[in-house]
Amino acid sequence: MMKKALVVFGLAAVVALPNVALAAKAQPQTFAASGSLCLTALPTSATIKVNKKHVRLFAEGEVFTGAIDNSPQWAGLVGAPVTVDVDKERARFNLTTLTYTGNISGTITINDAGDPLTGKFQGQTGGAFLDPSDPTNTVYATQAAFKFQLKDSQDRARGEGEALFIYDISSGTFCGPLGINGTVTPRPQKGNGGGGNAG
C-alpha cells in the first residue's frame, strides 16, 4: 500500500511540474526608449578604395555616446548613459547620386543604474554626403537601422533601433536622435526564480 501511494504521489508531482514551471516563467514586456547620440571618437583605422563611380570605406573604432531621455515602460533607463562602440563599418559612396549605403556592427552599453545593459548590434546605414545645391557647405547625414541583444545581471532585452546623425559644419558635431524598442525579460535569479529592473 505504501509503495502504491508513493508511486501515485510521484506521478502527481511529475504532472504538476510543467504547470509550476510555466507559472514561474518570466514573461517578456515591451518597451520603447528615445534619446540622442553624438560621435565622440573617430575611427581607429580606416581604409578607402576609389574607382570611377564609387568610394569604398572600411573602418572600425568609432565611438558614439549619449543618453536615454524618455522610456515610459522602463523608467530605470531614463537618464542612463549610452555608449556605442563600432567594431566594423563597411560603406560604399556613390559619386553620381552623392549618397552612400553600408553595414555596421558593434557593441551597445546602456549604464542602467550601475548595472550596465550590454550586448551586440548590427544593421544597415545610408545617407547623403553632399548637398548639390550648396557645394560649399558639405552636408553629411546618415541613418542607421539596427537590431540588438542586451543583458545585465537581471534582464535580457532585444529589439530594433534607429539613429539619425547630421554633421553640423558650424560646430563640427555629428549628432542626432536615437530610438529603440523591443522586449525585456527578467533573468531567473538564484533563490527566488524572479528578478528584473523593467517596469
| Cell numbers given for 76 | 530605470
In this prediction, residue 133 carries a pLDDT of 67
Local confidence band at 196 (pLDDT 50, 70, 90 cut-offs):
low
In this prediction, residue 163 carries a pLDDT of 95
Mean pLDDT of all residues in 73-89: 95
- pLDDT > 70 in the chain, percent: 76
Q: How far apart (Å, rounded) are the C-alpha atoms in residues 56 and 50?
A: 6
In this prediction, residue 13 carries a pLDDT of 34
Q: How far apart (Å, rounded) are the C-alpha atoms in residues 136 and 153?
A: 50
In this prediction, residue 172 carries a pLDDT of 83
| Cell numbers given for 153 | 545581471
In this prediction, residue 134 carries a pLDDT of 61
Give the CA angle between residues 151, 154, 160 to the nearest 5°: 35
The owner of cell 539619425 is 164
Backbone φ, ψ for residue 27 (5° rounding): -100, 140
Give the CA angle between residues 119, 125, 131 to the nearest 5°: 145
In this prediction, residue 17 carries a pLDDT of 39
Q: How far apart (Å, rounded) are the C-alpha atoms in residues 131 and 144?
A: 19
Q: Is 152:120 a contact under the CB 8 Å cutoff?
A: no
Tens digits of residue pLDDT in 104-142: 999 999 998 778 999 999 999 998 877 666 655 556 788
In this prediction, residue 23 carries a pLDDT of 43
Tens digits of residue pLDDT in 23-50: 456 789 999 999 999 999 999 999 999 9
The pTM (predicted TM-score) of the whole model is 0.79
Domains and CATH numbers, the chain: 27-186 (2.40.350)
Backbone φ, ψ for residue 24 (5° rounding): -85, -15
Residue type, 64: F
Tens digits of residue pLDDT in 134-157: 655 556 788 999 999 999 999 999
User: Average pLDDT, whole number, for the chain?
Assistant: 82
* CB-count burial class (<10 Å; 0-12, 13-18, 19+) for 70: exposed
Run of H or E residues at 156: strand 155-168
